[in-house]
């Protein structure tokens, strides 16, 4: 392949520059071999783009197809400058030619289009037209438009930290730039000075919404002009040579200066947004003729003949070759195996780290007690000493003597340096999204993030959270985001609506994440160690009211490990089972002691420790003994995680129950700031005592 190094290329940003400046690629100078290869790729891409709707018409598949015709120049160029050995590429759902130009074969495109098990993106698990090949660093991205910009930035961070020579290319439509997280991504890439090329393929529409309804600048890249260290290049995305020169320049700048570049490529959308859209409903004939007239493939073909680089016969021969290639790929596609329905539970989440020394997550260590916050801090440091590929970031994580909003990470930056322990901007989605991105660099990396200052502020990160839960399954095990998301959670601090929330019930509805919620220092340390050592994502809920509470302190073995899905019986009893976790564990133990004193009845208190996966065996074993069960947690009773526990018990142990499963938790209101209101909303010893007594007496 002709090398793509360039000596000097004027930016097309400033149009008053010389118009006929000699460029690296031009119809006259580019080698015939390369011109021919491009024509082959473009013809192949267009043939597949035009063939895709037929699969839907014949009810074979490809029910989502976003035609790329009109984006041919820039898509060819993105794929051509991408080097799979050194670079990373995030194509979006319209990037068929980008993917082909990057090396995907016609068969691979069709396998994805009709969702075959052989689809290299992920065996038909993701939508059609979401082309990817993780093995080559062509990443499998979300349908959530532009969300991969944050992944690209995270990867760019890894590229820089590991001093890797390569760039990250992120591609998207111009309307997706309206998403707030795209701003976060570009702001972060400039602030961290990362080698990321953002390509905006501008076809003027976000489905049917014209760009005038998206933003004031017709060229959305110009919205970013004030950002430091950012280069913006405009090019004609319909023109092969302008696109090749722009992308080559962009890659060179990103590589040589480790700074981000935006390439805004002006394209046309010759077709509808997708096969569920009818552009005739919002575009008139004049416009449709206008965009079709600038068919980039037809233009490129005319140039090849006009400047005598190819004869008509030579081009016809290439077109005939492509026809055969598509025919062969079509046959292969139809005979390829479908995914096995029995495989749906494969690759939901990777197997976790296995503890050999503490298989039940229990110990008999009798050293000095440590506070919960000390257990966390010391475990973080121990794991960071053990594994040099560990990183932690978040808001307030590293400022002189401050380490995290509650000082959980105190002293870490001093010991492990700014490269591994660093602050994040106040942008929770950025914190989460760049963790997803950075983890892609290699699977040795283990990331810990403080997902937000408080769990209450994690909501802006939800789209990246959801996205991250999908990765392992969607790629059929090809990519595992290895991330521990720490969240200071819960109330009892007089924090009001936004410093008291429990969000585990909402998060637990997503397959693809583990959720743990310790109550004591030893379990906190053991679960954190297991989280950091495991592949996959774990949400680590920290009951912030207990960080320094002597009630939560415990003796902590230096190497303690708590496996996921192992509950701990904190108090034994035969008259009632209480299933709980987090802040309410301590209340339940206290209530059980008081009930024993007052009534002589013995309550068994099970501290779940791990919500997903949940230790149902320990619960059922206890219920078989006590025949009565109460679920207590801090979160709201209505739709709280206790609903899942309760339903599972009812389903699996109905015949063992002598009373309905009872639940205690917060009222179905926000948590009031005034202490009187807070007390009225949250569960406490009195409420738990009354409910437990009532159940015992049932």
Nearest approach in angstroms of CB 301 to other proteins is 11
Does residue number 270 form part of the binding site for other proteins (CB under 8 A)? no
Nearest approach in angstroms of CB 226 to other proteins is 17
Nearest approach in angstroms of CB 294 to other proteins is 5
Is there a contact between 563 and 498 (Cβ–Cβ < 8 Å)?
A: no
Q: Which of residues 301-360 bind other proteins (CB under 8 A)?
A: 302-303, 306-307
Does residue number 418 form part of the binding site for other proteins (CB under 8 A)? no
Q: CB under 8 A: which stretch of 139-147, 297-305, 386-394, 683-691 binds other proteins?
A: 297-305
Residue 307 or residue 365: which is nearer to other proteins going by CB? 307
Size of the site for other proteins (CB under 8 A): 24
Q: CB under 8 A: which stretch of 147-155, 300-308, 427-435, 472-480 binds other proteins?
A: 300-308
Does residue number 217 form part of the binding site for other proteins (CB under 8 A)? yes
Cα first-last separation, the chain = 80
Among 1, 19, 324, 676, binds other proteins (CB under 8 A): 19
Taking the C-alpha atoms of residue 228 and residue 191, their distance in angstroms, rounded to an integer, is 8
Among 3, 5, 15, 368, binds other proteins (CB under 8 A): 15
Q: CB under 8 A: which stretch of 106-114, 214-222, 572-580, 590-598 binds other proteins?
A: 214-222
Does residue number 11 form part of the binding site for other proteins (CB under 8 A)? no
State the CB neighbour count (10 A cutoff) for residue 213: 11
Phi then psi dihedrals of residue 532, to 5 deg: -70, -30
Of 601, 623, 607, 600, the closest CA to residue 570 belongs to 607
State the CB neighbour count (10 A cutoff) for residue 338: 13
Residue 215 or residue 258: which is nearer to other proteins going by CB? 215
Phi then psi dihedrals of residue 340, to 5 deg: -85, 125
Residue 25 or residue 564: which is nearer to other proteins going by CB? 25
Residue 88 bears catalytic tag? no
Residue 216 or residue 342: which is nearer to other proteins going by CB? 216
Is there a contact between 489 and 541 (Cβ–Cβ < 8 Å)?
A: yes
Taking the C-alpha atoms of residue 109 and residue 100, their distance in angstroms, rounded to an integer, is 8
Does residue number 266 form part of the binding site for other proteins (CB under 8 A)? yes
Report CA 398 to chain centroid distance, whole Å: 24
Does residue number 278 form part of the binding site for other proteins (CB under 8 A)? no
Does residue number 364 form part of the binding site for other proteins (CB under 8 A)? no
Does residue number 456 form part of the binding site for other proteins (CB under 8 A)? no
Does residue number 365 form part of the binding site for other proteins (CB under 8 A)? no
Nearest approach in angstroms of CB 87 to other proteins is 29
Query: Can you tell me which residue has the tokens 């707030």?
Result: 180
DSSP-derived 3-state class of residue 369: strand
**Options 88, 148, 499, 586, the catalytic residue:** 499
Cα–Cα distances in angstroms (integers) from residue 204 to residues 144, 179, 300, in the given order: 19, 16, 22
Does residue number 674 form part of the binding site for other proteins (CB under 8 A)? no
Among 3, 7, 8, 20, binds other proteins (CB under 8 A): 20
Does residue number 28 form part of the binding site for other proteins (CB under 8 A)? yes
Taking the C-alpha atoms of residue 115 and residue 125, their distance in angstroms, rounded to an integer, is 7
What residues does 234 pair with on adjacent strands? Answer: 264
Structure letter (DSSP) for residue 133: B
| Alpha-helical segments (H) within 336-417 | 372-386, 412-416
Residue 291 or residue 431: which is nearer to other proteins going by CB? 291
> Taking CB under 8 A as the rule, which mask of x and - marks residues 191-210 in contact with other proteins?
-----------x--------
Does residue number 293 form part of the binding site for other proteins (CB under 8 A)? yes
Among 7, 8, 16, 58, binds other proteins (CB under 8 A): 16
Is 14 exposed, middle or buried (CB count within 10 Å of its CB: 0-12, 13-18, 19+)? exposed
Residue 163 or residue 306: which is nearer to other proteins going by CB? 306
The phi-psi region of residue 122 (left if phi > 0; otherwise alpha if psi is between -120 and 50; otherwise beta) is left
Query: Can you tell me which residue has the tokens 């360039």?
Result: 6
Nearest approach in angstroms of CB 316 to other proteins is 20
Does residue number 30 form part of the binding site for other proteins (CB under 8 A)? no
What SS3 string covers 619-683? HHHHHHHHCCEEEEEEEECCCCHHHHHHHHHHHHHHHHCCCCCEEEEECCCCCCCCHHHHHHHCC
Query: Can you tell me which residue has the tokens 């760009």?
Result: 211
Among 239, 575, 615, 678, binds other proteins (CB under 8 A): 239
Structure letter (DSSP) for residue 222: G
Does residue number 219 form part of the binding site for other proteins (CB under 8 A)? yes
Nearest approach in angstroms of CB 282 to other proteins is 16
DSSP-derived 3-state class of residue 284: coil
Q: Which residues bind other proteins (CB under 8 A)?
A: 15-16, 18-20, 26-28, 202, 217-219, 236, 239, 266, 268, 290, 293-294, 299, 302-303, 306-307
Which residues are catalytically annotated? 499
């Amino acid at each position: 392949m002709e090398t793509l190094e360039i000596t000097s290329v004027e930016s097309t940003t400033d149009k008053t520059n010389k118009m006929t400046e000699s460029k690296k690629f031009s119809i006259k100078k580019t080698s015939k071999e390369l011109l021919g290869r491009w024509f082959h790729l473009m013809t192949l891409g267009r043939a597949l783009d035009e063939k895709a709707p037929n699969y839907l018409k014949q009810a074979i598949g490809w029910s989502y197809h976003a035609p790329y015709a009109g984006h041919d120049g820039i898509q060819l160029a993105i794929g051509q400058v991408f080097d799979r050995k050194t670079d990373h590429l995030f194509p979006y759902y319209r990037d068929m030619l980008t993917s082909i130009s990057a090396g995907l074969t016609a068969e691979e495109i069709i396998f994805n289009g009709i969702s075959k098990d052989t689809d290299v993106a992920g065996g038909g698990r993701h939508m059609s037209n979401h082309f990817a090949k993780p093995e080559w660093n062509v990443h499998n991205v979300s349908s959530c438009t532009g969300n991969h910009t944050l992944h690209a930035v995270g990867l760019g961070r890894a590229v820089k930290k590991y001093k890797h020579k390569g760039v990250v290319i992120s591609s998207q439509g111009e309307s997706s730039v309206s998403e707030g997280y795209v701003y976060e991504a570009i702001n972060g890439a400039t602030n961290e000075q990362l080698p990321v090329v953002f390509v905006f393929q501008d076809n003027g529409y976000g489905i049917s919404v014209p760009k005038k309804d998206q933003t004031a600048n017709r060229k959305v890249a110009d919205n970013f002009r004030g950002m430091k260290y950012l280069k913006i290049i405009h090019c004609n995305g319909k023109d092969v040579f302008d696109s090749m020169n722009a992308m080559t320049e962009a890659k060179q700048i990103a590589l040589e200066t480790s700074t981000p570049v935006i390439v805004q490529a002006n394209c046309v959308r010759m077709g509808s947004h997708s096969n569920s859209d009818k552009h005739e409903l919002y575009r008139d004939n004049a416009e449709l003729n206008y965009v079709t007239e600038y068919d980039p493939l037809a233009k490129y073909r005319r140039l090849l003949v006009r400047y005598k680089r190819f004869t008509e016969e030579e081009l016809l021969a290439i077109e005939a070759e492509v026809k055969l290639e598509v025919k062969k790929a079509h046959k292969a596609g139809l005979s390829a195996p479908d995914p096995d329905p029995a495989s749906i539970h494969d690759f939901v989440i990777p197997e976790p780290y296995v503890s050999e020394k503490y298989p039940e997550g229990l110990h008999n260590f009798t050293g000095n007690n440590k506070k919960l916050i000390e257990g966390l801090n010391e475990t973080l440091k121990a794991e960071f000493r053990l594994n040099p590929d560990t990183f932690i970031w978040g808001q307030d994580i590293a400022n002189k003597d401050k380490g995290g909003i509650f000082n959980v990470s105190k002293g870490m930056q001093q010991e492990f340096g700014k490269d591994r322990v660093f602050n994040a901007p106040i942008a929770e989605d950025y914190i989460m999204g760049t963790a997803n991105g950075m983890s892609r660099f290699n699977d040795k990396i283990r990331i810990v993030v403080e997902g937000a200052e408080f769990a209450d502020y994690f909501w802006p990160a939800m789209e990246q959270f959801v996205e991250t839960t999908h990765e392992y399954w969607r790629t059929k095990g090809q990519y595992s985001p290895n991330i521990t998301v720490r969240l200071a959670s819960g109330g009892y601090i007089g924090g009001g609506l936004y410093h008291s929330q429990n969000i585990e019930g909402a998060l637990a509805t997503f397959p693809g994440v583990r959720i743990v919620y310790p109550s004591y220092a030893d379990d906190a340390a053991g679960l954190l160690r297991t989280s950091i050592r495991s592949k996959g994502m774990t949400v680590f809920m920290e009951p912030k009211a207990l960080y320094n509470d002597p009630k939560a302190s415990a003796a902590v073995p230096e190497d303690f490990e708590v496996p996921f899905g192992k509950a701990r019986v904190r108090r034994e009893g035969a008259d009632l089972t209480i299933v709980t976790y987090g802040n309410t564990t301590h209340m339940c133990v206290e209530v059980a002691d008081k009930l024993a004193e007052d009534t002589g009845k013995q309550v068994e208190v099970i501290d779940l420790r791990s919500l997903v996966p949940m230790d149902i065996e320990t619960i059922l074993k206890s219920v078989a003994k006590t025949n009565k069960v109460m679920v207590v947690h801090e979160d709201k009773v209505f739709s709280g995680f206790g609903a899942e526990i309760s339903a599972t018990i009812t389903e699996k142990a109905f015949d063992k129950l002598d009373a309905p499963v009872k639940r205690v938790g917060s009222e179905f209101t926000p948590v009031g700031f005034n202490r009187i209101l807070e007390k009225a909303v949250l569960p406490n010893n009195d409420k738990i005592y009354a409910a437990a007594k009532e159940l015992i007496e049932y």
